[in-house]
Amino acid sequence: MKRDHDIELDLEKIEKLGKQRLDENFQFRTFLKGQDPDKIDRIVHQLNWEVSSQIDCTKCGNCCKSLKPGITQNDLEVLSKKLNMTTEQIVENYTETNDFGELFFRHAPCKFLKDKKCTIYEDRPEACRSYPHLHKDEFTFRLFGVIQNYSVCPIVFNVFEKLKDELNFR
């Protein structure tokens, strides 16, 4: 029998439950790996639409407070125009490189976050535009990231919990 959950928005509770349910979430990950990936995508896309339509990200901004999104060359060029800086200046002032040579914003919280809102919203990097990535296909191939984001994003938290219910996991 499916249980219907209200939408959880309390960031402290979400972070706490993320720690408490880490083992359960990894067990669910293993369970999901054995499911039809197309079916899971359809369910996740529907749940994402339902949940995200009830959450105003501009009242949260937790992703911008705690994550460091990747930056592409195209993002650099857009930001360069927006900030009236060279791409080199942006790299020097705002980014760091990981072990794979990929660029990421260096600061958390993001230097462009003000009052839970992005000051470069129209020109934000693609990783920010796409977050929390639940609209994308191949959900079952991105589950480590989903589990990481479970403690950060109310949309991810609620979709993952509703997916557990939908699939009668518990």
Task: Going residue by residue through the chain, which has 170 residues, state the pLDDT in tens, using 9 for 90 and above.
Answer: 344 458 999 999 999 999 999 999 999 999 999 999 999 999 999 999 999 999 998 889 999 999 999 999 999 999 999 999 999 999 999 999 999 999 999 999 999 999 888 999 999 999 999 999 999 999 999 999 999 999 999 999 999 999 999 999 97
pLDDT value at residue 5:
55
Of 148, 153, 132, 151, residue with least CA distance to 44 = 132
Query: Could you tell me which residues are beta bridge partners of residue 88?
Result: none
Confirm whether pTM is higher than 0.85. yes
CB burial of 57-86 (b: ≥16 within 10 Å; e: otherwise) equals: beebbbbbebbbbebeeebbebbbeeeebe
Quickly tell me which residue has 């557990």 as its tokens: 164
Cα distance between residue 168 and residue 170, in whole Å: 6
Quickly tell me which residue has 């592409």 as its tokens: 72
